[in-house]
Every structure is written in structure tokens, then in C-alpha cells.
Chains A and B, each alone.
Chain A
Amino acid sequence: GQNIDQPTEMTATEGAIVQINCTYQTSGFNGLFWYQQHAGEAPTFLSYNVLDGLEEKGRFSSFLSRSKGYSYLLLKELQMKDSASYLCAVKYAGNNRKLIWGLGTSLAVNP
């Protein structure tokens, strides 16, 4: 199968740092996306990783290790508005461009 695993829920404090992990099946891997989704809204694109290493975009960074089938999303200087669901999605070769989606990690940022 092509299961994508990520924690169901996480809680963090405003101003802190939180890391959301995602693991996936490595065979046929062809890129990994992170999305943020607020309740009742469509997902918004955060990052795309296809090579190993860390990609930094302001307060958000995303890391990928292809050999380990592992990625994480790092959120720094957390703000209340970061409370949302974070979705990990993986693209596999020969899959008709479909993305395989994780169930999402619901992050609650507390004051």
C-alpha cells in the first residue's frame, strides 16, 4: 500500500516551535507536499519537497529524507492563527498524478 502516517493531534503554545512528522512508503516516491487547512476551507499550499534536505519559508520549514521515507513540517514562533489541520500528501510515479493524502494533523495553539 501507500499509507501516509502522521499524528492525529498536537498541541503547542503560542511563540513555541512544533514539528509535525509524516512517514510514507518509499517505493515510487516522486515528491511530498504539505498543506494547511482551516476548518471549512480548502487546503492551502505550504511546501513541496522532492530532494533531501530542509526547505525554509519564513516561519515554516519542511524537511525530507527519501531513504527513510520521512518528512517533517516545522513551525516556528507559533501564532494562534496557526491552529489548523496540516496535511501531508505524497506523489508517486505512475499514479496518474494522484496524490496520496495523510489523514492530517490537527494542531491547537494555546495562549
Chain B
Amino acid sequence: GAVVSQHPSRVICKSGTSVKIECRSLDFQATTMFWYRQFPKQSLMLMATSNEGSKATYEQGVEKDKFLINHASLTLSTLTVTSAHPEDSSFYICRKRGGMDTEAFFGQGTRLTVV
């Protein structure tokens, strides 16, 4: 079964609104969650690393005020896309590091379309 549950799988929103994406760890506690964005036919681009109980670490070029990450508990990390624009339309995926560090568990992904 799924180790990381990500919701929603698809969302359509209007420009200027905000969208929250949740990733929930179903077995091992997730002290660290990685958030990725993937444009069509491109590879995964790491956006930020969220750590339980502390501020997220953002990759260069990613606006921290636009992509808000909250990791308040060991089982839940959220990404909020604020004031969304059509160029934010993408596939967003979370990943938590496996307990044995031999696998990396992905959420199911969220297809965001901003109209």
C-alpha cells in the first residue's frame, strides 16, 4: 500500500487564488519531506525541503513567499501555492526519505491547473 498519501490528485483553480497540497506519511514518521515540481516532459525539480518543526529550506530561484511549506507534525507536510498564476500549472510531487534510506517514497502527485 501507499506509504505517502498526497491530496488532491488534481485541482483547477482561478488565477490569484491559493491552493493547498497535503502529503501525509502513513507509516514511518516523516521528519523530512521533499517537494518537487515537474513540467511536461521534464525531470523532477526540487523546490524545497521541509523539516518537521522548523523552517523549510528552499532551492535557489524558488520564492518562499509564494510556495508556503508547513511541516508542523511528523506525519503531515503541506505546500500552499499562493496567488497562483497560469505559469504555476504543473505536476507537484512530495517525497519522504525512507527509513532505511534505500528507497524514497513519493506521493501520488498533484496536477495543478491555473486558469
Residues of A within 8 A of B (CB): 31, 33, 40-45, 48, 87, 89, 96-99, 101-104, 106
Identify the interface centre among B42, B91, B102: most chain A CB within 10 Å of its CB.
B102
**Pair B103/A104 contact, Cβ less than 8 Å:** no
Chain B residues whose C-beta falls within 8 Å of the C-beta of A96 in the assembled complex: 49, 57
Q: How many residues of B contact A (CB 8 A)?
A: 22
Chain A residues near B6 (CB, 8 Å)?
Answer: 42
Q: Give Cα distance in the complex from A44 to B102, angstroms.
A: 13
Q: Are B104 and A42 within 8 A (Cβ)?
A: no
Q: Are B93 and A42 interface neighbours, CB within 8 A?
A: yes
Chain B residues in 8 Å Cβ range of A98: 34, 46, 49
Taking a contact as CB atoms under 8 Å apart, the answer to whether B44 and A101 are in contact is yes
Kindly state whether residue B43 has any CB partner on chain A within 8 Å: yes
Distance, CA A33 to CA B104, complexed state (A): 9
Chain B residues, CB < 8 A from A102: 43
B43 x A101 contact (CB < 8 A):
yes
Nearest chain B CB to A17's CB is how many angstroms away? 25
Contact A87 B43 (CB under 8 A): yes
Taken residue by residue from 39 to 52, chain B's Cβ proximity to chain A (1 for < 8 Å, 0 otherwise) reads as 00111101001000
- Which of B12-20, B66-74, B81-89, B105-113 binds A? B105-113
Contact assessment for B43 and A103 in the assembled complex, using a CB-CB cutoff below 8 Å:
yes
- What 0/1 pattern do residues 11 to 38 of B give for CB contact below 8 A with A? 0000000000000000000001010000
Other than the known A44-B106, A96-B57, A104-B43, what 11 A-B pairs have Cβ atoms closer than 8 Å?
A33-B103, A41-B108, A42-B107, A42-B109, A43-B106, A48-B103, A98-B46, A99-B104, A101-B43, A101-B44, A104-B42
Alpha-carbon distance A84/B49, docked complex (angstroms): 27
Question: How far does the alpha carbon of A106 sit from the alpha carbon of B43 in the complex, in Å?
Answer: 11
